[in-house]
Every structure is written in structure tokens, then in C-alpha cells.
A and B are shown apart, each in its own frame.
Chain A
Amino acid sequence: MRERAHSTIAEGTLAPSELARFEALVLPHLDAAYTLARYLMDNDDDAHDVAQEALLRALKYFDGFRGDDARAWVLAIVRNACHTWQRTGRSHPVAVEFNEELHSGAVGDEHPEAALLRAADREAVRGAVAALPLEFREVIILREVQGLSYKEIGEIAEIPVGTVMSRLSRARRRLARALSSVARERS
């Protein structure tokens, strides 16, 4: 058992209409916020805490939000919170077992075949995603799980669109390699 992150916000600092605006614009993206946190953090508890901290931060600074893309705005806050947690080592021991040998992908330059990818199961896919370095993992999640455009991903991850594409490309190569090597091991 461990303590949940605590809210540190002052009470009664936003007008009711601002709170209504927060509910209308930001809360619909709570699932997306949690999804990003869950894939960037190593376990459920960390994901819960970091998402909560990020949403409270969003609430606190909401009166400064004047843009038109609340989803990208809140995802950027979540993403930054995840990075901070990872950097400061607040996260808990890695729950996903990661077998370095299995995922190191020493398959050479040949293209893994689509059939091998089709055979990938849940455990293999989750393991391969979890094994990606954070900067590759975030672009994959934002693109493949959350369906964001390169422009949105670039805004969230604070990188140019060209870098979004090259990171996606490298992340996919790593995933394909890891998944086909798992499949080969098994066959």
C-alpha cells in the first residue's frame, strides 16, 4: 500500500464558468490522458498518480489555456509529468518483465515478414512497446493508439514534425524487429 499523490491546489480559485469550461473541454480527454500515462509509466499505480497530478495541474493552470486543442494541451501536460517522474525516479520498480535477450532484436537486416507480426500476441506487443525508449514510445502511443497527427504530436513532444516522422519510423522498425524475433523464438 502506498500513498496517492495529494492535491495541492488552492480552493475556489476559478470562476464557475471556467470550471464548466474545464469540464466541457478537458474532462472528455481523461481516458486519453490516462492511456498516455499508462503506456509511458511502468505500472498502474504510477499511471494513476501521474495522470491525477497532471490533471490537477491542468485545472490549476486552466485559466491560462486559450487554445482550441484541449486534447493536445492536456496530453502535453501528462507527457511532461511522465518525463519528470521518470527522471526523478519517483516511479516504482518496473512491473513489466523485460527480457533483454529476447528483445534485443539481433535479426540482421532482413525484413521481418508480415506473417510473423500477425502472429504477435498481446504479451509480445505490450512487452515490445514497454521496451521502447521513452522518446520512441511516446510518438508510437500518440500516433497508433491515440491517432494524433504529426503536427499535434510535435506540439506535445516539443519536437519538429520531421523528427516526429523519423522517431516513428525508427520506433516501428524496433517494434517490428522485436516482434518478429519473439515469433521466431517460438516457432
Chain B
Amino acid sequence: MTCKDFEAQLDAYIDNELPPAVVGEMTEHLDACAACARSHERQLALRRALTQHAPALQAPPGLRASIRQAIRAQIRPAATPRLPEWRWLAAAAVLVGVVAGTWRVATTRARAEALTDALLASHVRSLLGSHLLDVASSDQHTVKPWFNGKLDYSPSVYDLAGRGYPLLGGRLDYVANGAVAALVYGRRQHVISVFLWPAERGPTAGPATVTRQGYHMLHWIAPDYAYWVVSDLGSTELREFTQLLQRADSAAARPDGR
């Protein structure tokens, strides 16, 4: 390799864009030729200067917020009655294969579809690695307080590690125009998302099961919360898990606590 060849390919060399065979020749020339070694050193010095003084930047919070707002504006269906966010979620949830209330069934069913869609999407998205956990901890006393000030309710978080369902953490998710708590539990390599939000106090119901794209979704209404559990775990185990949650809920609701 001549110095001219070396010089012509130096950029591609430092950018890792050359085929391995050429890289070998370049490296050989570099070891043998002091002048080209100086050129190479100069390029690396320039790169260091850029890395140090022209770094990647973070988007300003205002920009992030306005994009998120635009996304939420897209979700809002036209002519939706203005209920507080989680109230219509609760209303829609009641209708999913459980109870037909006094709500207009057609619109509510469409919303229920949209809700299962959104919850499943949230779960799948979390698995894609972009947003699995905002708070990663197996300690319920770390995860539960994390939601303080972020939601107008405090989700129940339980330690089910002893039963083979360790707590992994939680995240704040936007589902159908509202912020909801998503708790994440594990079972072997499977991830379970538990979504919950305040339910109208009323008759308890469920669980009802929906299966979509290989994911099981279990839904029920406890006295205080509407629950959705989403996972690719087998339905028998997922049912066992929901029973553990329900039992923990009833235990917590007893006046003497625990």
C-alpha cells in the first residue's frame, strides 16, 4: 500500500467502514510509515476534540412534553364525553365481557376495544425495551411510593416473590388519554404487566379473559380498583397469579390490615 492509498482511505479506516482485508493492509502501513502514522494520530485527535466538545444533546423537556401532548391529542376520539380520565377507563373496563351497564353500548364497546388494544400495546412496547420500568425494584416499599405525586391514586403493590412471582418494578404509562400505574412482575423469563386504576365502588366482577396475539389479558374489578393483567405466560399460571393478587387485595382490605 502506498501513502497515497493510505491517505485516500484514512477516513473510512477510522470510521470502521473498510473490509477486514484492507484494514489489515492499512494497519501494516501505519506501523511502517511515520508520516501516515502522524496523519492517523491527527485524525484521532480531531475525533477526540469533537467527542469532548461537540457532544450529543438532550432534547429540552418542553420539546418532549409538546410531542407527547401531540400524541395524546391524536388518541382522543372526537366527541368523547369529558369524564376524568380514569373514570371512563373504569367505565369502559366494566363493559369488557363483564357487565353491560347503562352506558351506550356501541360507543363503549369501541372504547373497550381501544382499551384492550392500548393495554396490549403498552405491554408489548415495554418488552421492546423502550420503556419497561421507570422504577426498578423488587421492594414494594420502593415501588409504591414512587407513584406519589404522579397519579391521583396509590396502586397496591405486593411482594409475591415467595410464590414465584417476583416484583420487578413499575412504570407510569399513558393509556387511552390517562396516566395509569403499571406494575411489573416476573415469572421465569416471562414478564407480567399489571395495570390498575380506581374503579367506581360497586359490585366486583371477573376475572374475564381476552386472548390477543398470543398474549393473555385478564381483567377483573376489585372493590377499589379495576385490574388488567397482560402476559405471554400460560393461562393456568396467569390465573394463579391473579388469584394471588386478589387474595393479597382482600387481606389488605381487612380492617386489621395485613
* Residues of chain A at the chain B interface (Cβ within 8 Å): 4, 7, 9, 11-17, 19-25, 27-28, 30-35, 38-39, 44, 48, 51-52, 55-56, 59, 111-115, 117-118, 120-122, 124-126, 129, 140-141, 143-146, 149-150, 165, 168-169, 172, 175-176, 179
Contact = CB atoms under 8 A, between A and B. Distances in A.
Dominant secondary structure at the B interface: helix
Contacts of B60: 34, 44, 48
A139 to B, nearest CB: 10
Nearest to A170: B11
A24 B125 CA distance: 6
Interface string B22-51: 000000000000000011011111111111
Contacts of A176: 42, 46
Contacts of A59: 67, 70-71, 74
A149 to B, nearest CB: 7
A146 B66 CA distance: 24
B63 A48 contact: yes
A14 B11 contact: no
A35 B58 CA distance: 7
Contacts of A4: 66
Interface stretch (B75-83, B225-233, B249-257): B75-83
A23 B130 contact: yes
B45 A118 contact: yes
B141 interface: no
Contacts of A175: 46, 50
Contact of B73 (A11, A114, A124, A169): A11
Nearest to A146: B56
Given A21-B121, A143-B15, A35 B46 contact: no
- Residue of A23, A111, A143 ringed by the most chain B CB atoms within 10 A: A23
Given A17-B117, A111-B42, A120-B49, A165 B56 contact: no
Contacts of B47: 144
B128 interface: yes
B53 interface: yes
A125 B50 contact: yes
A56 B70 contact: yes
A140 B73 contact: no
Contacts of A14: 74
Contact of B59 (A16, A31, A115): A31
Given A11-B78, A48-B62, A59-B70, A20 B55 contact: no
A179 B46 contact: yes
Contact of A179 (B49, B71, B74): B49
Contacts of B62: 48
